[in-house]
Amino acid sequence: MPFKYSSFISYRRETERNKFVENFCRHLRSRAFDACNSETIFLDNDNILPGDDFPERIYEAIRNSYYFTLFHNYHYLHTENLWCAKELKYALDVEVARRSVLNEEDKDQYNWIFPLIVRGNLSDLPPVIGNRHGIHIGKFESAINSQRPLPQKISDFFDDIYEKLISLYKIYEKYPSGYFDNCTNEIVYATDEEIVEWIKIQKEAANVSETVNKPILIKNEEG
């Protein structure tokens, strides 16, 4: 503490979605500054320059963020495009490492991974983050992309994000500067093969959960 970025943004690149993510970050910056005293949000299109070591810049940025935000759709984890999975897996490892050096009270409150659901349902989140408080954002997409002032309900949504950021910041500020610098040193970057296997495990667990929790259809006595 302090970290360089208020939030690391993880998302699947596509032309229209990129615009939405960039506009979302534009609205987030002021709230992030108020919460963390940093309006710098890590977005790979903005923060990685030609010639940079792409993997190391990604992992370094995750380590140096107050918050990890992911834009989830059904194909967020995909074996043909591994980077979202790499980012999430590493973020989970960072969370475990940071939590290990917190006091017991703060461990229970520490949750730095924030899923925004662009398409799909809460049940579509990977099981490893299925218990997080994911928020549906897709319904706000057109309004956020508009140049007009935000409707009140969307402004309230960003204020809710501020509340999450500030509650996390209050945990960080209990600890001295540099306190979290070394706890992530032992994390090993997963190989592509390990990430592919991890994605398969998440997909299989999701399928099992869906099967177990299928609604029971009771036949009508007259049917």
pLDDT, tens digit, 9 for 90 and up, residues 178-217: 899 899 999 999 999 999 999 999 988 887 765 555 544 4
Q: Is the pLDDT of residue 24 over 70?
A: yes
Q: What local confidence, expressed as pLDDT, does residue 124 receive?
A: 87
d(CA 35, CA 174): 15
Going by pLDDT thresholds of 50, 70 and 90, the confidence category of residue 100 is: very high
Q: What local confidence, expressed as pLDDT, does residue 56 receive?
A: 93
Q: What is the mean pLDDT of residues 79-95?
A: 95
pLDDT in tens, 37-70: 888 899 987 778 778 888 999 999 999 999 999 9
Q: Is the pLDDT of residue 102 over 60?
A: yes
More confident residue, 94 or 20: 94
Q: Is the pLDDT of residue 221 over 50?
A: no
Q: Is the pLDDT of residue 1 over 80?
A: no
Q: What local confidence, expressed as pLDDT, does residue 213 receive?
A: 52
Q: What local confidence, expressed as pLDDT, does residue 45 receive?
A: 77
pLDDT in tens, 137-185: 888 888 888 878 888 888 888 888 899 889 999 999 999 988 998 999 9
Sorted by sequence, the CB contacts under 8 Å of residue 126 that are 6+ apart come out as: 76, 77, 88, 202, 206
What strands lie across the sheet with 5-10, from one edge to the other? 41-42, 5-10, 65-72, 113-117, 135-136
Residue 209, both tokens: 């959960």
Chain centre to alpha carbon of residue 115: 5
Q: Is 178 exposed, middle or buried (0-12, 13-18, 19+ CB in 10 A)?
A: exposed
pTM here is: 0.88
Q: What local confidence, expressed as pLDDT, does residue 212 receive?
A: 54
Q: What is the mean pLDDT of residues 103-117?
A: 92
160-163, long-range: CB < 8 A, 24+ apart: 160/135, 161/28, 161/31, 161/114, 162/31, 162/32, 162/34, 162/35
Domains identified in the chain and CATH numbers = 5-212 (3.40.50.10140)
Q: What local confidence, expressed as pLDDT, does residue 217 receive?
A: 44
Q: What local confidence, expressed as pLDDT, does residue 123 receive?
A: 84
